[in-house]
Structure 1
Amino acid sequence: MNKAYRLFAVLLASLGLCMLAPQASLAQTGKKLIIGFSQVGAETEWRVAMSKIMKETIAKEKDMELIFSDAQQKQENQLKALRTFILQKVDFIVFAPVVQTGWDSVLQEAKEAKIPVIVINRLVKTSAVKLEDHTVTFIGPDNMDAGRFAANFMIEKFKDAKAPVNVVQLEGTVGASSAVERKAGFEEVIKGQSKLKIVKTQSGDFTRAKGKEVMEAFLKSTKAEGVKIDALFSHSDDMGIGAMQAIEEAGLKPGKDIIIVGIDGVKGAFEAMISGKQAATVENPVDYAKPLIQVIRDYQAKKPIPAWVKLKNTVYPAETAARELPTRLY
């Protein structure tokens, strides 16, 4: 009896210790947080750099693992990727949306699967569900401000010029929040003055090839109309670099005959500024990994998270290019 009693007491004590012991952390158990990330594509130098930084930074986190999916600028590919992440039961879904709308159903599916969703870089708009109930936060810059910064720089650049100053605009992907907001911010400022006038505006899909193609069309149509193009506002530096090729092939000099202001802050834009072909770039922040990791840590710790984790835009005029170029990672 005594022997059996002693054995029972040992087992009871062991059970008590197990019940009292705190749960091990993810790092202690070796379990990793699985993050499914759906990227827009690889349409620009900036986008490629953003993906590279995201992969490399999260790879350094011992308790995190990134599953990366390239949507190739197609919403159907992105929807497929998000639903695959849900089936895989990832811990977090992160995506930079190709376009603003069409996400209601998949966001509802993620919510039902109890997978938190974080939207980055571009905004989404919902109609059937409340966005704040289906996403943790949005991480990204104020693209309206980026457009405003570009417009104000251009106004200052042409302050001594005679009116009118004819401006053409290369817009980003149709339906993308970044394109919608950069256009709105730029045009808001332009409408508030009388010197600069937008004479042509069209989507160049954020790509260098399309930027060149649309700029060629602008040059031909304005020539036929007897209109001189004085300036170009490009929603991405890549489109602007493509436009430079079209301008040169038309026998004109970018930076002299046509003043160019872009957005993104890619290395190619700084090289163009040094060579006198571009007047300025508005940097679009490229490192989303650090703020994303912080949001995930805060979410796990049940800390308050703002609805918008705002990243900063910075204007770089040509005179800063030589100093800044060595610091460019992309």
Structure 2
Amino acid sequence: MNKTLMGLALASLLGASQLASALTVGFSQVGSESGWRTTFSESVKAEAEKRGIDLKFSDAQQKQENQIKAIRSFIAQSVDAIVVAPVVETGWRPVLMEARRARIPVVIVDRNVAVTDDRLYITRIAPDFVDEGRKAAQWLMEATDGRCDIVELQGTVGSSAAIGRMEGFNEVIGKHPEASIVRSQTAEFTRAKGKEVMESILKAEGGGKALCALWAHNDEMALGAIQAIKEAGLKPGEDILVVSVDAVDDIFTALLDGEVNASVEMSPHLGGPAFDVIEAYLGGKRDFEKWMVMDGRVFTQENAKAEYEKRQAN
């Protein structure tokens, strides 16, 4: 985790401990399209309760217009701060300007916003999506000696997660002339769409026997695609290698069963760092990095067991 995150609690002691019990924070979440997203929401709610923060939670159901309405509602309620996990990158300037005029600080978590004026938010707390794509591709290129016909399941079109993961993955495989993406289609970060789209791709690819690997932008799509692969009479993890991002609990079962080969971790526990920033800001701190990077490990069939047992014990 970024060192700045670790120091925020100390930095906020100037006044945040008194502020926390009285804070009202609005949180606009993308939706509940995946197990990772659900864990993320639950983690934020639990952290708010632990700190005595009155959390105004809004589920956008993956629609930006719902998020904009929620943020305007938070502004009308005069909340102390707003946390946003954006559906897509663009289209945020007007509503963020409204929050700024109302003197309500905003923290961006997870996906990014594309605005030219970074004064419209305090900081963004998120992983490096490009690096996640690189890690997934590096594992796959090492596993296949750089020779692989790949199917890609993209996340939500226009989201920074999909854009970044695609960029990082393509950067790595671009260095391997015998590796290429032969099919690429969005499955909207959901398990149901992952299955549906993979079924279509396998039919288009003559049953999929010539395919080397599936690269999914998140675990939910990978898990859906695995069902399609099995129903097509192929063995996921063997006939078609599977690599994805998130490292949710369900993916560890698939790793241990040999149906997934690798998953890049993306921590869903962003609430604590976000509230640390808000408390520090309201306590007088102003010098924040504009992007606080959350690091993630790569889990494979070789190292999944220890992590899975650790999670089950907690």
Same fold (TM over 0.5): yes
Distance of aligned partners of 1:309 and 1:218 in 2 relative to their CA distance in 1, 3 Å threshold: same
> Structure 2: how far apart are the matches of 1:90 and 1:29?
13
CA displacement at 1:193 relative to structure 2: 1.2
Q: Say how many residue pairs are matched.
A: 299
Question: Any residues of structure 2 matched to 1:2-41 within 5 Å, and which?
Answer: 32-41=22-31
CA displacement at 1:229 relative to structure 2: 1.1
What letter corresponds to residue 41 of structure 2 in structure 1? S
Q: Which has the higher contact order (CA 8 A, sep 6+)?
A: 2
| Aligned position for 1:318 | 301
| Aligned position for 1:125 | 114
Q: Secondary structure at the match of 1:60?
A: helix
CA displacement at 1:195 relative to structure 2: 2.4
| Aligned position for 1:259 | 241
Deviates more, 1:29-38 or 1:273-282: 29-38
Q: How big is each residue's C-alpha offset from its partner over 1:200-240, in whole Å with a ceiling of 9 and x where there is no partner?
A: 1111100000001111111011118x971110011010100
What letter corresponds to residue 110 of structure 2 in structure 1? N
1:180 to 163, 183, 189: 163
* Sequence identity percentage: 45
| Aligned position for 2:32 | 42
> Structure 1: how far apart are the matches of 2:107 and 2:91?
16
Q: Secondary structure at the match of 1:100?
A: coil
| Aligned position for 2:266 | 284
CA displacement at 1:300 relative to structure 2: 2.1
Q: How big is each residue's C-alpha offset from its partner over 1:12-70, in whole Å with a ceiling of 9 and x where there is no partner?
A: xxxxxxxxxxxxx68669961111000000000000000001100111113x2211110
Q: Secondary structure at the match of 2:199?
A: helix
Q: Secondary structure at the match of 2:288?
A: coil
Q: How big is each residue's C-alpha offset from its partner over 1:262-286, in whole Å with a ceiling of 9 and x where there is no partner?
A: 1000111110010000001000111
Q: How big is each residue's C-alpha offset from its partner over 1:309-330, in whole Å with a ceiling of 9 and x where there is no partner?
A: 1111211111111111123379
Q: How big is each residue's C-alpha offset from its partner over 1:239-261, in whole Å with a ceiling of 9 and x where there is no partner?
A: 00000000011111101100000
> Structure 1: how far apart are the matches of 2:168 and 2:179?
15
> Structure 1: how far apart are the matches of 2:122 and 2:19?
26
Give the 4+ runs in structure 1 shifted more than 4 A: 25-31
The answer as to whether partners of 2:29 and 2:57 remain within 8 angstroms in 1 is yes
Root-mean-square deviation (CA), in Å? 2.0
The answer as to whether partners of 2:19 and 2:279 remain within 8 angstroms in 1 is no
CA displacement at 1:99 relative to structure 2: 0.6
The answer as to whether partners of 1:125 and 1:131 remain within 8 angstroms in 2 is no
Distance of aligned partners of 1:259 and 1:109 in 2 relative to their CA distance in 1, 3 Å threshold: same
Distance of aligned partners of 1:153 and 1:31 in 2 relative to their CA distance in 1, 3 Å threshold: closer
CA displacement at 1:297 relative to structure 2: 2.4
1:66 to 55, 71, 76: 55
| Greater C-alpha radius of gyration | 1
2:93 to 104, 108, 111: 104
Q: Please give the TM-score of this superposition, normalised by the length of structure 2.
A: 0.91
Q: Please give the TM-score of this superposition, normalised by the length of structure 1.
A: 0.86
| Aligned position for 2:276 | 294
> Structure 2: how far apart are the matches of 1:212 and 1:43?
14
The answer as to whether partners of 1:147 and 1:183 remain within 8 angstroms in 2 is yes
> Structure 2: how far apart are the matches of 1:57 and 1:246?
37
| Aligned position for 1:231 | 213
What letter corresponds to residue 65 of structure 2 in structure 1? E
> Structure 2: how far apart are the matches of 1:299 and 1:53?
21
Query: Which ranges of structure 1 fall in alignment gaps of 5 or more residues?
Result: 1-24
What letter corresponds to residue 138 of structure 1 in structure 2? R
Deviates more, 1:35-44 or 1:313-322: 313-322
Q: Secondary structure at the match of 2:299?
A: strand
CA displacement at 1:290 relative to structure 2: 1.7
CA displacement at 1:104 relative to structure 2: 1.2
CA displacement at 1:75 relative to structure 2: 0.8
Q: Secondary structure at the match of 1:319?
A: coil
> Structure 1: how far apart are the matches of 2:289 and 2:17?
26
Deviates more, 1:313-322 or 1:238-247: 313-322
